[in-house]
Amino acid sequence: MRPVLLPASLEELWPLMRDHPGAAFMAGGSDLLVRLRQGLVDPPAIIGLEGIAELGLVHDEAPGWLFLGAGASHTALLEHSLVQRRLPLLAQALAVLGSPLVRNQGTLGGNLGTASPAGDTLSPLYALEAQVELRSATGSRRLAIADFILGPGRTALQAGEIIYGAWVPLAQDWSLAHFEKVGLRQALAIAVVSLAALISLDDGGVVREARLALGSVGPTVVRPRQAEQALLGRPLDAASLKAAARLVRQEVSPIDDPRASAHYRRQVAGNLLLRLARPAD
């Protein structure tokens, strides 16, 4: 019989992790339970994290940063006033993540730990240049999300560590925050391609800063740096976006799988940029 352990605090968690090496962590369980049923994993124990209240916190107590606890459900994040007001890009992604049931059960930490390039929260967090905080019995460390996620299902999490949460810098107000994903159906869709975009414009409508992050077009979320640079100093119009879209198609590295071909993904990745064009005055 596999033990299921339910610590109520981090102080209770650390000795359980020490005494049960190889245990799987579960908060919502929307990914873990599927893999258990399919026989893809067989951990010697399961440690439930949902009883650790501080893992579900959301706050802006550190100046210039918004903290999102790893144990916060997608619904809790979506409905939180700080996320709605300060992180509209992430709120857009959360609104189309799975179904209400999945959003109620799944957590931010689960999305980070699963490290799927199709994870709906990941491309916004890349565009926002979030940092992931990891904690252990001996301390904590923070990594840029691009350094934390190493590949599909692979992260920089070390033995004895848990994902504590994500820190999102609140550097500026963006002129445009846009999230969109293309899937094979209207609801409960796994992204074939997703785009998270943050654009800052000057008073004349010229791009001062552009951050683009694309999901499902590489082993990790892709920041197409050449395309971002190509937008700088130009109006956000069809011509500049078409030029950036050509660069996006060169920078992504999608694969063929049962949901879409690499060619289709590459074309869609570029096409999604065209949705950013500002209407003519």
114 and 223 fall within a common domain: no
Exposure on the CB side of residue 194, measured as CA atoms within 13 A: 32
Residue 238's contacts (CB-CB under 8 Å, 6 or more residues apart) are 274, 277
Helix and strand element counts for the chain (H, E): 12, 13
pLDDT tens digits, one per residue of 101-140 = 889 889 999 999 999 988 999 999 999 999 999 999 999 9
pLDDT tens digits, one per residue of 177-234 = 999 998 765 555 677 899 999 999 999 999 999 999 999 999 999 999 999 999 999 9
* pLDDT value of position 118: 87
Choose one of 137, 169, 201: the last residue of a domain: 169
103 and 198 fall within a common domain: no
Tell me whether residue 184 is in a domain: yes
* pLDDT value of position 102: 86
Overall average pLDDT of the 160-189 stretch:
86
182 and 161 fall within a common domain: no
120 and 199 fall within a common domain: no
Total tally of structural domains belonging to the chain: 2
* pLDDT value of position 185: 57
- CATH number, domain of 63, equals 3.30.465.10
Q: 207: part of which helix (H) or strand (E)?
A: strand 207-215
What is the rounded distance in angstroms from the CA atom of residue 192 to the CA atom of residue 268?
9
* pLDDT value of position 275: 92
Residue 209's contacts (CB-CB under 8 Å, 6 or more residues apart) are 198, 199, 200, 232
Which residue segment(s) compose the domain that 163 sits in?
Answer: 51-169
Tell me whether residue 29 is in a domain: no
* pLDDT value of position 172: 74
- CATH number, domain of 255, equals 3.30.390.50
Tokens for 195, please give them: 């785009």
Tell me whether residue 204 is in a domain: yes
Q: In b/e form, how buried is each residue of 81-119, taking b as 16+ CB within 10 angstroms?
A: eebeeebbbbbbbbebbbeeeebebbbbbbbbbbbbbbb
Round the average pLDDT of the chain to a whole number and report it.
92
Tokens for 186, please give them: 């209207």
What is the rounded distance in angstroms from the CA atom of residue 104 to the CA atom of residue 112?
16
* pLDDT value of position 136: 97
55 and 151 fall within a common domain: yes
What is the rounded distance in angstroms from the CA atom of residue 245 to the CA atom of residue 209?
16
* Residue % of the chain over a pLDDT of 90: 79
Q: 186: part of which helix (H) or strand (E)?
A: none
145 and 237 fall within a common domain: no
What is the rounded distance in angstroms from the CA atom of residue 239 to the CA atom of residue 225?
18
Tell me whether residue 115 is in a domain: yes
Instruction: Label residue 5 by pLDDT band (50, 70, 90).
Output: very high
Q: With 80 as the cut, is the pLDDT of residue 271 above it?
A: yes
Choose one of 169, 195, 216: the last residue of a domain: 169
Tell me whether residue 18 is in a domain: no
Choose one of 169, 191, 214: the last residue of a domain: 169
Judge contact between 82 and 66, C-beta under 8 A.
yes
Residue in the block written with tokens 């959003």: 103
164 and 181 fall within a common domain: no
